[in-house]
Each structure stands twice: as structure tokens, then as C-alpha cells.
Structure 1
Amino acid sequence: MGLAERRAAERFKNEDYPQWATRIEEAAGFAVPVEVFWDELAVNDYADSYAEFFPQVYFQPLVDALAGVTIDQLGRDALRAGLTRIIIRNAGDYYSDSGFSFIDGTLTIDHRPDTNVAYGEERAESLRKLLESGL
């Protein structure tokens, strides 16, 4: 990761992510801790695309999945009781939902930021199903 990638990731983290953090909290119905491994998300040669890729790959699908779980009081209560933190990373070179896990209250989204960008609805559905099966 070069300087351009570090700058772009830092810009997204400081300028765009705070709004996404608010949306995540609103969708969940509580302040769930979110740990983003920004250095892993900042892949080479895509610095100009982070503002497009990060929301489509990680944040919008997460918001949609949380909103899908919390459509009723039962879902809101189950999520609050069962979800303790969210990890967003790009460690395993995953480009599908095979990099998603929900273990011991931790939802992990491990996905390449530059692959299958347009499949956000599918990611959201996979995340929702994963959460619902583990709650």
C-alpha cells in the first residue's frame, strides 16, 4: 500500500465513515462496536475508488442486513443480546460471503474491497441470514 492508498483510506475514515457509523448504529438500534482494519481495506491501485467501493462492499450491505434483522421487536432484542461487535477487514482474500462469520457475538466481514462490488444486495442478504441463524 502506497501513500495514495493510505491517504485515500484515511480520508474515507475521517470524512465518510462517521456517517456510516451513525447509520450502522441506527440500523442496529444500539451502539455496537465496529472495528475496521483500514490498512487491509486499502488495496493497491484503487485509491480513487475507495469512496465508491467501501460503501458498496462493506457499509451499505451491513446497514441493510442490520435493518433486516431489526424489523420487529423480537429482532431488535435478539440483535442487542447477541451481537457484541463487528469486524470489517480484508485478510483472507475472500470475494464472496465465504469470508463472513458470526461467532461468539462477533460478526466478521472479510471481503476484498475491489471484487464483486456491485453485489451489495447479495452481501446484505447473506449477512442478514447469517445473523438471524446465529441469534
Structure 2
Amino acid sequence: MLSRRHALAAAATLLFVPAVQAEPAVGLAERRAIAAYRQDRYPALEKAIQDAAGFPVPVEVVWDQLTVPGDAQYVSDDTYFGTTIFAPLAAGLKEVGKDKMGRDALSKTLKAIRVRYDEKTAVASNFAKGLTFKDGVLDVNWRPFANTADVKPRVEAVVEVLEKNL
């Protein structure tokens, strides 16, 4: 009976031990580059996304997941995030909201946008598969700085996913 009580006490203790924080996905150089980008460039991109949506839709960017380790020197390049993620997102929203019906559908249904990069699930070129829309949240899972010339297919993917779900 004593060993069972110790086992239960140990199990209970494990339930209340705070989780250990995971190490950052990127190093200091990437975090510095992200901080500079967020300060210098991102506000205009976020405004473009919100203007395209027609309302101040919350945009959550999971920055430490969005940046690829070792890419610090590329983060400030407009093609790293801008051309491959934020500009196509804004252009897709603008296309969907080009008329009153689209703007109304966006403002009524789109609750938030989440931007991230998951190496295990992001696709290289089938951009619609990197987008999900659930419970009013458009989740964007695209690799930054990849296939930088494929802006139009990204825009089309945003339009396709939103029009299907609005």
C-alpha cells in the first residue's frame, strides 16, 4: 500500500510541475532580424492587410515559427516575408472584398488571420493546401522566401479558400 501511495503522490506531483519552456526555434541573429522587421516594415504590411479586408482584422504572426533558422541575413529582404506571405495575403483579401458583398462577408465571417510556418506541413507550391479556414480564422502556413515569383498562385489560393468559406 505504501508504494501505491508514493506512486500516486509522484503522479500528482507531475501534474503540477510547470512545463519546461522550449528553446527558441531560431537563434539570436534571427530574433534581432525579426525585431527590426517588425518595427520597420511589418506595420505597413499589417495595415495593408487590414485595409484590404476592409476592417481591422486581428493578424497574429507566429514570428519564431515563421523564420527559418540561419536566415537572419534575408529577413530584411522584401521577398522573405513580404512577397511570399503578406503581399499575396493582402491582394487576396482585396480581391475578395472588391465589392460590397465580399466586404460584408469578410467582416461578418473573418475573425482573425494567423500566419506561421510549420516545416512538416507547409507545402512548396500548392498554396491552397497551406491555408485553412476554421471558426473564422484564416490560418496561413507558407514557407517564407520560397518560390518568390509565385505571387499570383498565392493570391489565387487566398481567394479560393476565402470564397469557399465565406
The CA RMSD over aligned residues, in Å, is 1.2
Structure 1 residue aligned with 2:59 = 34
Tell me which protein shows more helix as a share of its residues: 1
Equivalent residue pairs, number: 135
Q: Percent identity?
A: 40
| Relative contact order higher in (CA < 8 Å, ≥ 6 apart) | 1
Structure 1 residue aligned with 2:151 = 120
Aligned partner (choices 132, 135, 138) of residue 107 of structure 1: 138
5+ long unaligned stretches in structure 1: none
Following the alignment from structure 1 to structure 2, what is the Cα–Cα distance between the partners of residues 59 and 109? 10
Structure 2 residue aligned with 1:71 = 98
Following the alignment from structure 1 to structure 2, what is the Cα–Cα distance between the partners of residues 88 and 112? 10
> Does 2:124 match 1:95?
yes
Q: CA deviation at 1:42?
A: 1.7
Counterpart AA for 1:94:
V
TM-score (norm 1): 0.94
Q: CA deviation at 1:20?
A: 0.8
Query: For residues 24-76 of structure 1, what are the alpha-carbon distances to aligned partners after superposition, in whole Å with 9 as ceiling and x for unaligned?
Result: 11111100011000001121222122232100111000110000001100000
> Does 2:161 match 1:130?
yes
5+ long unaligned stretches in structure 2: 1-25
Runs of 4+ in 1 over 2 A off after TM superposition: 92-96
Aligned-partner SS, 1:112: coil
TM-score (norm 2): 0.77
Following the alignment from structure 2 to structure 1, what is the Cα–Cα distance between the partners of residues 70 and 93? 31
Rg larger for: 2
